[in-house]
Structure 1
Amino acid sequence: MSSPDKPKADIASQILEQDSQDRQALALLLDRHLARNDRLLVQKTQMGSTEAFIGSVTLEWLDSRVRFASQLPLFRQKFDPQTDNVIRDEETVDEILQRPLDWSRQAPLTQYLAARQAHKFPAVLVVHSPTWVDNPKAKEWDKQGRARQSAADFIPLDQNQTVGLLDVSPSVSIFALDGQHRLMGVQGLMTLLKTGRLQRYNKNKKPVGSVITIDDLIDEYQLDPAYLQRLAQEKIGIEFIPAVAKGETRDQARRRVRSIFVHVNLMALRLSKGQLALLNENDGFSIVARKIAVNHPLLKEVPGRNPRVNWDSATVAAKSTVLTTLQALNEMSQRYLDHPFPRWKPPEKKGLIPMRPDDEELEAGIDTFNQFFDHLASLPSYQRLEQGEETPQLRRFSFEKNGGEGNILFRPVGQIAFTQALGIVVFQKKLSLKMVFKKLCKYDAEGGFSQMETPQSLWYGVLFDPNKKRIMVSGRDLAARLLIYIIAGTEDGMEKAELRRELAEARTIEGKAVGFNGKFVKPRDVGLPPVL
């Protein structure tokens, strides 16, 4: 006697077997279609009146098939083949779809793809334009100049017509609407893989510096040549929109495409340098700067007191209660730690990008920079913060509203110059932090870093512009060299003479040099301050 459960088991088995057969049939169908070079498996999407088709392609395919918008037939008569940009004139100003390409970005983007194993580019938005779009006499246009069909030749494979095959045969032109610099990076990668070399350019595609070679990348980042060659077959997302929708005229289509481009770019906010430093997980200096910003007592957020770090902006307003910026900390980290950790910054002549240091090196870097900040916090100027004073009073110039002390240690440019000088004094001249800060604490207590807007200050004309009555960022390197001099002195007569000349030049106003007593003197009489 058969079990009553047996028919149920047979039915279940049949269902599973049928399901398996269906999957096999679907796999065969997909394999047949995916093997075609003229069709791409995509999913159709619809937002508003805009239809789009999403798929994925290899980097090699992207390089060979996708071009910049400026290369569309519409622009060929006004196309600059050198820069791949549209020539702006009265005829093209309303038709230009893209901002000018910045070719200085190609080498870093290419290196990112080649050297970072955790690389990822977002999908590229492209326009799909078959040949008939640019032929007003083609049968696809009616007598009123409206398209009889969409430019996208899509064959649906399901009843809902959402999954199917998109025509990407060689007769279809494809150009990047959003992702032009990603395309540029992929093109650079393919050039590097095919030729072993990549020329670096400035933003206008003029060659600059030495070429980057595959050997450079292999040596610097310990890459496997076989791994590099496999990159060409990696896949990137791609989204197609038709150049012309059914019922559109060519002008309407152009306006629609332009509108999509504008809104895509309006929605993409450019990150500030501070935000980039906050997010950078590969640059050792940025990582150390972030750790110091959130952990060191001088900078970390403490309940009941104003934040000490501006995480976004590169500048500090006179009335701001912050002490510094993340961008300034990033530069300070680089200028101080570049000496003990030179490999954190690849050789400039090769134009390579930095790679994340190993954890042990990062810990050593954090410890080294932390020691520097421990000593920095001991300066009398910064000790006043712990006594309840706020940064605006110490930062503002005496002539500004509510007055202030004009202290360079409360300006990012002064902080960077100070740290730059200390890096050289400690790591090149081999002076101990303890001894150096003993001198600097005395100098600070005597007002050496304050009143930079007065002629008695060493920083007058160097970090303070007496003509425009504002900070001078251009004087940062001179300020660093002066600080090195007053800390360590110099036995080099030529170096001393050059420093004296630069200081006199900085303190010269309308042909007259200002001495430390506030009176006009001959440039050679300006002199140098005494060594501490």
Structure 2
Amino acid sequence: MARLYPSLKGKLGSTEYYLTVMKAADVIKEIRSADELVEWNDFTIEERLQREISWGRIKSELAPYLLNEEDRFFGSLIVDIYNDKGVDFEPLSSTFKANNKFYESAGQGFGFLVMTGGESLFALDGQHRLKALQVAITGKGKDGEFVDLPDDLTHNPDLGEEDITVIFIRHENNSHKIRKIFNKINKNAKPTSKGDNIITSEDDPFALISRKLIGPDAPLKEAQVNWRSNTLTKTSKQFTTIGTLYESAEILLSPYNLNKKELPVDLPKHYDRVKVVWETLLKEFELFTEMIHSTEIGKLREEVLVGKPVGQMALIEAIQNCKDHNKSDLHEIIQQLNKIDWKSDSEIWLHIMYEPNGRIKANSTSRKLAARVIAYMVGAELDDNEKATLLTDYRKVKNDFNALLPDPV
């Protein structure tokens, strides 16, 4: 059966392409996944792994996004036209003559992509989006089996009427060329960084809170935060990172079980809970106050644990541990935090947060143990079992089974 699609014709290098809009119902009916290509078995294991479909991700993330999000949107599918002998592009100018040469020339790129029905269509890029549309519209996933969607969601056939952008490329009986395109699209695609995701997310409450912590009237100024990376070098002028602020929000709001993909109605209250901790720390925790006003912040960062992002997160987690153990007066906690020896060469942090060669241990296991030790030192009300477990973990990391926990301050 012949098909006609309004299209924009273009060319990049030796590759001619057609930018087209299709109804979602037609997309899932007409376009197949790359693993159904005739040449698929000739692809290397690496190439095939690049396009292995994650049905779990489709079920838990992509299909719910299409069904839940009113402002849903995603990029174009890139589709190979196999057996393209009957495919033709008819420019708009061949049907509708313009008296204006300028319009007539421009009209050469606009027109209709005609397919006679003998071709096959395979997604080179966008397979997960293609299958997510299938699940969202029909409720069927792998091998045509019905998918049990989360949160009592059900499929919605009306999504089939929505418009999907598709970029068609001719197969040209040249599988080598198609494989090169396939590999460039998939192998060289770089995921966005954690910082980029925090900056751009509009449905993650921790991301919104993190961004709101930065600004002229916020606890931190833009110049004090590294937006691009979750590390700070010796020469970095910033005080902390956007990733640290994000994780601090996760830690401080852990009792509320917030969903990373849904904004709570009381988001301002949650923001205030995080904001007050940072504001108070920046005013009353002496090392933070010194750092944000120092012209030698890089030097201080190397000298004290809380100059590092992982040390700042350990500090925040210790504060939350105190709150979880009947010690909730933030001002009192910070007064006692000021009494701790935070120097990077302190015996307290050796093997806990620093290797013997002075290298920081920037992993969550080390951070969490440090947070427990800090909470113990400032008087969190641990029960006997918690104290015994902490002592065991402390001795194990120290590799000294006679070691004692640091004295409470």
SS at the partner of 2:64?
helix
Residue 440 to residue 69, structure 1, CA distance change in 2 (3 Å): same
1:164 aligns with 2:61: no
Residue 240 to residue 386, structure 1, CA distance change in 2 (3 Å): closer
The answer to whether the Cα contact below 8 Å between 2:239 and 2:291 also exists between their aligned partners in 1 is no
1:530 aligns with 2:399: no
TM-score by length of 2: 0.84
Offset at residue 383 of structure 1 (A): 1.8
1:412 aligns with 2:334: no
Write out per-residue CA displacement over residues 283-331 of structure 1, whole angstroms, 9 at most, x where no aligned residue: 0111011110224665204xxxxx3211011211233222211111111
Residue 157 to residue 390, structure 1, CA distance change in 2 (3 Å): closer
Write out per-residue CA displacement over residues 430-456 of structure 1, whole angstroms, 9 at most, x where no aligned residue: 512122222223x24xxx2223x342x
Counterpart mapping for 1:116-127 below 5 A: 116-127=69-80
Hey, what's the Cα distance between the residues in 1 that align with 2:224 and 2:116?
A: 55
Hey, what's the Cα distance between the residues in 2 that align with 1:434 and 1:319?
A: 32
1:41 aligns with 2:5: yes
SS at the partner of 1:163?
strand
Residue 495 to residue 266, structure 1, CA distance change in 2 (3 Å): closer
Residue 479 to residue 152, structure 1, CA distance change in 2 (3 Å): farther
1:492 aligns with 2:399: no
Write out per-residue CA displacement over residues 319-359 of structure 1, whole angstroms, 9 at most, x where no aligned residue: 322221111111111111232x42x22xxxxxxx621233x
SS at the partner of 1:357?
coil
Residue 387 to residue 326, structure 1, CA distance change in 2 (3 Å): closer
1:450 aligns with 2:343: yes
Pick from 329, 337, 350 the counterpart of residue 440 of structure 1.
337
Hey, what's the Cα distance between the residues in 2 that align with 1:468 and 1:272?
A: 28
Residue 73 to residue 295, structure 1, CA distance change in 2 (3 Å): same
Residue 389 to residue 155, structure 1, CA distance change in 2 (3 Å): closer
Offset at residue 506 of structure 1 (A): 0.9
Offset at residue 386 of structure 1 (A): 4.9
Sequence identity of aligned pairs in percent?
24
Offset at residue 159 of structure 1 (A): 4.2
Offset at residue 427 of structure 1 (A): 5.3
Pick from 18, 32, 37 the counterpart of residue 67 of structure 1.
32
Hey, what's the Cα distance between the residues in 2 that align with 1:392 and 1:182?
A: 45
Q: Which runs of 5+ in 2 are unaligned?
A: 95-107
Hey, what's the Cα distance between the residues in 2 that align with 1:191 and 1:462?
A: 53
Residue 69 to residue 468, structure 1, CA distance change in 2 (3 Å): farther
Hey, what's the Cα distance between the residues in 1 that align with 2:239 and 2:195?
A: 15
Counterpart mapping for 1:46-61 below 5 A: 46-48=10-12, 49-61=14-26
Hey, what's the Cα distance between the residues in 1 that align with 2:6 and 2:241?
A: 46
Structure 1 counterpart of 2:202: 281
Offset at residue 491 of structure 1 (A): 4.8
Pick from 233, 238, 258 the counterpart of residue 179 of structure 2.
258
Write out per-residue CA displacement over residues 344-388 of structure 1, whole angstroms, 9 at most, x where no aligned residue: 22xxxxxxx621233xx2222222211111111121101213543
Offset at residue 40 of structure 1 (A): 2.9
One-letter amino acid of the structure 2 residue matched with residue 172 of structure 1? E
SS at the partner of 1:319?
coil
Hey, what's the Cα distance between the residues in 1 that align with 2:90 and 2:3?
A: 12
Offset at residue 100 of structure 1 (A): 3.8
Offset at residue 69 of structure 1 (A): 2.1
Hey, what's the Cα distance between the residues in 2 that align with 1:124 and 1:299?
A: 41
The answer to whether the Cα contact below 8 Å between 1:156 and 1:163 also exists between their aligned partners in 2 is yes
Offset at residue 182 of structure 1 (A): 2.0
Residue 59 to residue 168, structure 1, CA distance change in 2 (3 Å): farther
The answer to whether the Cα contact below 8 Å between 1:69 and 1:98 also exists between their aligned partners in 2 is no
Structure 2 counterpart of 1:300: 221
SS at the partner of 2:378?
helix
Which one has the largest radius of gyration?
1
Structure 1 counterpart of 2:261: 354
Hey, what's the Cα distance between the residues in 2 that align with 1:61 and 1:114?
A: 18
One-letter amino acid of the structure 1 residue matched with residue 112 of structure 2? G
The answer to whether the Cα contact below 8 Å between 2:325 and 2:380 also exists between their aligned partners in 1 is no
Offset at residue 62 of structure 1 (A): 2.2
How many residues get paired? 388
Structure 1 counterpart of 2:398: 507
Query: Structure with the greater relative contact order (CA < 8 A, sep ≥ 6): 1 or 2?
Result: 2
1:178 aligns with 2:125: yes
Structure 2 counterpart of 1:385: 291
Structure 2 counterpart of 1:207: none
SS at the partner of 1:64?
helix
Pick from 161, 165, 176 the counterpart of residue 237 of structure 1.
165
Structure 1 counterpart of 2:104: none
SS at the partner of 2:139?
helix
TM-score by length of 1: 0.66
Structure 2 counterpart of 1:99: 50
Q: RMSD in angstroms over aligned alpha carbons?
A: 2.9
Offset at residue 156 of structure 1 (A): 2.6
Offset at residue 267 of structure 1 (A): 7.9
Hey, what's the Cα distance between the residues in 1 that align with 2:70 and 2:218?
A: 36
Offset at residue 275 of structure 1 (A): 0.9
One-letter amino acid of the structure 2 residue matched with residue 375 of structure 1? T
Structure 1 counterpart of 2:361: 471
The answer to whether the Cα contact below 8 Å between 2:137 and 2:157 also exists between their aligned partners in 1 is no
1:395 aligns with 2:395: no
Residue 282 to residue 192, structure 1, CA distance change in 2 (3 Å): same
Offset at residue 501 of structure 1 (A): 0.6
Structure 2 counterpart of 1:204: none
One-letter amino acid of the structure 2 residue matched with residue 357 of structure 1? P
Residue 411 to residue 283, structure 1, CA distance change in 2 (3 Å): same
Offset at residue 259 of structure 1 (A): 3.9
Q: Which shifted more, 497-506 or 257-266?
A: 257-266
SS at the partner of 1:67?
strand
The answer to whether the Cα contact below 8 Å between 1:282 and 1:357 also exists between their aligned partners in 2 is no
Structure 1 counterpart of 2:105: none
One-letter amino acid of the structure 1 residue matched with residue 351 of structure 2? G
Hey, what's the Cα distance between the residues in 1 that align with 2:157 and 2:34?
A: 28
The answer to whether the Cα contact below 8 Å between 1:282 and 1:356 also exists between their aligned partners in 2 is yes
Counterpart mapping for 1:203-214 below 5 A: 212-213=149-150
1:460 aligns with 2:340: no
The answer to whether the Cα contact below 8 Å between 1:43 and 1:55 also exists between their aligned partners in 2 is yes
Offset at residue 102 of structure 1 (A): 5.7
Hey, what's the Cα distance between the residues in 1 that align with 2:111 and 2:215?
A: 49
Hey, what's the Cα distance between the residues in 2 that align with 1:64 and 1:257?
A: 22
The answer to whether the Cα contact below 8 Å between 1:97 and 1:258 also exists between their aligned partners in 2 is no
